[in-house]
Each structure stands twice: as C-alpha cells, then as structure tokens.
Amino acid sequence: MRVGGVQLDVNFVRRVFIGIILAFVLISILISVSAAILLVTSFCFGATLLSIALDLSPGHQFPNLISHWKSFKLSDDYQCSQCPRPNCILHLEHEPYAGYKVPIEVDKALEHFVERLLNEYVYLWYREISYDEDFVQEIRQVLRHAIGILCKRLCRVDLTDLIVKKVIPIGLCHVDALIHAENFVKSDKNTRQLNMELRDAYIDYLGPRVHPAALNRVKELEYIQSVVASLVPHLLPPRYLSSKTMTDLINDILFGAVLQPVLDLVGNPDATANTLIGLAFDPSPSKKFLPGSGQKVELLEQFVKTHQTSQKSALHIDMSTILKNETSLFAFMNFLKEKQAIDQLHFCLAVEEFNKKIMNPELSEEAMQCLHNDAITLYNLHFKPDAEHKVPVSIDYVNEIKSILDGPMSNVVLLRSTPPLFKAYEEVYGILESKYCPSFFKSEEYFTFLLGKREVETTEGSEKTSSKTKDLNVKAG
C-alpha cells in the first residue's frame, strides 16, 4: 500500500485500522449501543469506499493531500508582474516570462535550440506558403510562454526528492527485473517449447507492471502523443486553446522534435552506455567552460524582440484614440481583462481624472482635502507595496509620491508641478501602448469593434440556400 508515493508496511496499516475500529467501538459503547452500531457501520462503509478508491487509483496509492497545503518557491528572485507576492502561483500562466531572469548563457542556448526547432519544423514548409513573419512571430511568443511555464514549474520540483524517491527506485526495479529475466533465459525452465528471448522474459516477469510504452514502437508513440496532448493545454496561453491550428502545431513540435528524440536517445543502450563510460573512464581532460558573466536577462526576451516588425496598418488606431472613444475603450478593457492587465488601464484613467481636478489654479481648502484623499486612495490602490491593484512603476517615483503625501495636506499641489506622478503615468501608458496595443490589434475584441460581431449561419439558412441551389440546378437542367 502506498500513500503519497511512500510505501507503507501492510502489518502496520492493519494494526492502525484495527486500533481505529477498537477505538470507535469503545467510544460508542460508552455513549450508547445504537451510536456504536451507527459509527461502526459508517466506518465500514467509509473503509469500503477507500479500498475501492485504492484499487482504482493509479499505482494503487492514496494522493498526498498534505503536499497541496505546502507552498513551493518558483524562484528565489522571481517577482510577479501582476501582484506584489514574490512567488505568485495565481498569475503563473499570464506572462510566465515577465520578470523571470536567467543567466545570459542559458538564454542564448535556449534561443539557439528554439531557433533550430523553427528552422527544421516550421520554416521548412512555411516558406512555401508565405514570407510574412507574423505567423512565426506568434509561434515564438507561444513557445516563450510554454518554456516560461516549464521553467517555473521545474523550479518547484525538489531534485533530491525526485532522484531518491523516484529515479533510483524505478531504475533498481528495472535492473532487478532484467536480472531475473536473464537468469530465467539461462535456466532449464526456458525449454525449447518456450524458447523465450531476454526481452520477452523481461516483459513476462513484469506482467501488468510493464510500462505501456515498452511493449512496442506503436504503443510508445501513442503514449508520447497522449502525454503531449495532456501537457499542451497547461502550456499554451488561454486564448490559443480554441485554435486547433496552433494546438496541433505545438503538439507536433513537442512530440516530433523534443520528446520522441529524447526518448529514442535515452532508450538507446549504446549511446547511453558509451556516454557513461566516456564520462567515467575517458583519460582525456573534460571540457572546461569559461566562468559565467553573471549577467541575467529576461527569459527569451531577445528571441522575440529581434524578430518584431514595426509595420503599421491603416486599421490601427493610436492609444489616445482608444481612450477617447467609448466603444474602443470598452473593447480594450475586455481585452485587458483577459490579459489580467486591467489595473494598468484603471490607473491611467484615474490619473487623468485626478489631473483634471488638480489643474484648477484656485483650490479651496475643501477641494484640497478631497484631492489629498484621492491621492492617498490612488497610492493605496496602485503604489503601496501590498496594493491590491499594483502597477509596474519605478520605485523611485513611488518613494517621491509617498514623501509628498506624508507631508501636510497642502503639499498635494506639488503633484501638479513635480514629475513623479506624470512619470509614473507615462511609464504605465508606455507599457499599454508598446506591449498590449499590438496584441489588441490582432484580437477578437478589436475586430469586433471594427467590423461588428460575426454572423453565424444558422441551419435553417443553410437549408434554404441548399434548396435554392437545387431549384436553380433543376431549372437549368
């Protein structure tokens, strides 16, 4: 019996269950006989359900529920771009690469690997169709998103626990099964009628414990495809999950270019054995790598930026026009809600409203008090370290605004003549304009704003069209 991946002694489990039953019976008898019967019946019913769940669960083990209460760190220096929490899991799938710093050597190696994937599995056929880079640029962003999620989730894995409790026991089980199979093949039990080879004896010894991918090549490919199909929905951005083209393309890249070659290499005994022997007994000195530069960059930032095109379309509008038009502003707000960046737009709108009030040269004491309260509310909502709707602004601007608000109430007019609030506004405005507007121009919300909602042809309409076509064909005949 296994609980949370830990093997438990059967005798120990039996003694625990007997002790629980006796405790239930003793307590129930002390209360009343009817309560004893009710409690024992309930316990037996619950034990039956647990035993059924244990038999049907994968690996015949109970899930480790305690692990769900324990929080794991994503990275020591990772700061979420959407909220002030340093190890946020809530916004993990929003922009997993935002603020995630890696050594520049690792970033270049990843960039070289992904570029090779694109050259061999995308450009090879896409150049026959078009030379437009927009489609490939979308794939780059999706791959960056997927690699960011993988890197953050790998940071949560306890490598020591994985090796000690997973890799080594599974490896020893395989070695033990191989030794038993080899002894059986060489023994007298392997008669001429059986004439079993080592592979057949190995599979026969494991029985139902054999991994389905180890049966044959077809089963191996089916297993890899099922693994990829279960992984991709967790790696793609939410808006791409409804795109069958992008989902199938990422499936094929992950299946044919990553997992299958890796499993072929690991399953090749010659390559694995030669590598291990070379590492252990090769007299030639190991390759010496230069020390790292210590420079860290955002994950695959240059991989995406170096291929961005600045082509402007006649259908695009600037940021100021979006904010002035109620219809476009509503569409932009819906888009930012999906991107979980609506707080930045709310901040810009709040600052514009605040500026209209503070620009009045003749402020009464009551109006100054209201402005001071509005400024404090703005700071608590968007600038405070634990703010609920925190925006990405330089800490220097935040400190300057805080020093003004900590002073007398009359100091609020300094926000009219000093730059910190305007600089913060420009910083957030620039993020919306350079980061979110290009994606907004390709979104469903923007095309709905320009062209209206899509007209879905009903079944009755299609039947009428087909009947009219038939009538025309009859008349023509």
pLDDT for 192: 62
Q: Give the chain's mean pLDDT.
A: 78
194-217, pLDDT tens digit by residue? 677 887 888 888 877 888 887 788
Q: Are residues 106 and 242 in the same domain?
A: yes
pLDDT of residue 108: 92
117 and 160 assigned to the same domain: yes
Residues 47 and 151 in one domain: no
Query: What pLDDT, on the 0 to 100 scale, is given for residue 54?
Result: 64
Domain boundary among 245, 278, 311: 278
SS3 per-residue string spanning 35-95 = HHHHHHHHHHHHHHHHHHHHHHCCCCEECCHHHHCCCCCCCCCCCCCCCCCCCCCCCCCCC
Q: List beta partners, residue 103.
A: 296
CA angle, residues 240, 243, 246, in degrees to nearest 5: 80
In this predicted structure, what is the pLDDT of residue 465? 47
User: Looking at residue 473, what is its pLDDT?
Assistant: 45
Q: pLDDT confidence of 111, banded at 50, 70, 90?
A: very high
Are 110 and 147 in contact, with CB atoms under 8 Å apart?
A: yes
| Exposure b/e, 445-463, CB count within 10 A at least 16 = b | bbeebeeeeeeeeeeeeee
Tell whether 45 and 134 lie within a shared domain: no
* Best-predicted range by mean pLDDT (46-60, 63-77, 302-316): 302-316
What three-state secondary structure class fits 296?
strand
Spatial distance between the Cα atoms of 390 and 405, rounded to a whole number of angstroms = 18
pLDDT exceeds cutoff 80 at 367: yes
More confident: 239 or 60: 239
248 and 343 share one domain? no
Domain match, 40 and 138 both? no
CA–CA dist 278, 284 (Å, integer): 9
Q: Which range marks the domain in which residue 161 is found?
A: 101-278
- Contacts of residue 57, defined as CB under 8 A and 6 or more positions apart, other chains included, come to 63
Number of domains into which the chain is organized: 3
Point out the domain boundary residue: 227, 256, 278: 278
> Would you state the torsion angle of the CA atoms of residues 75, 81, 82, 84, taken in this order, to the nearest 10 degrees?
60
Helix axis angle, 444-451 to 326-339, nearest 10°? 160
Q: Is the pLDDT score of 23 beyond 80?
A: no
pLDDT of residue 81: 54
Residue 405, in any domain of the structure: yes
Asked which of 22, 47, 68 is the last residue of a domain, the reply is 68
Decide if pLDDT at 28 tops 70. no
What confidence tens digit (pLDDT) does each residue in 57-69 have? 655 555 554 444 4
Position 33 scores a pLDDT of: 65
pLDDT > 80? residue 279: no
The mean pLDDT value for 85-109 works out to 72
Instruction: Check whether 186 has a pLDDT greater than 80.
Output: yes
pTM: 0.62
Q: Is residue 308 part of a domain?
A: no
Query: Would you place residue 112 in the very low, low, confident or very high pLDDT band (cuts 50, 70, 90)?
Result: very high
- Do 136 and 254 lie in one domain? The reply is yes
Is 80 exceeded by the pLDDT of residue 314?
Answer: no
Q: What tokens were used for 187?
A: 């023994």
3-state secondary structure 164-193: HHHHHHHHHHHHHHHHHHHHHHHCCCCCCC
Q: What is the pLDDT of residues 125-167, one digit of tens each?
A: 888 888 888 888 888 988 988 898 888 888 888 888 888 888 8
When pLDDT is averaged across residues 437-454 and rounded to a whole number, the result is 84
pLDDT for the residue 281: 72
CA distances from 231 to 193, 235, 238, 247, 382 (A): 45, 7, 13, 11, 35
Q: Of the given ranges (86-95, 230-239, 325-334, 436-445), which has the lowest mean pLDDT?
A: 86-95
Q: Does the structure show a pLDDT above 60 at 457? A: no
- Residue 191, phi-psi category: left (phi > 0), alpha (psi -120 to 50), beta (remainder): beta
**Is the domain of 256 the same as that of 152?**
yes
Q: Please state, for a pLDDT cut of 90, what percent of the chain lies above it.
A: 5
Question: Is 244 inside any structural domain?
Answer: yes
The reply to whether 73 falls in a domain is no
End-to-end CA distance of the chain: 76
Q: Is residue 343 part of a domain?
A: yes
CATH number at residue 334: 1.10.167.10
Element (H, E) at 475: helix 459-476
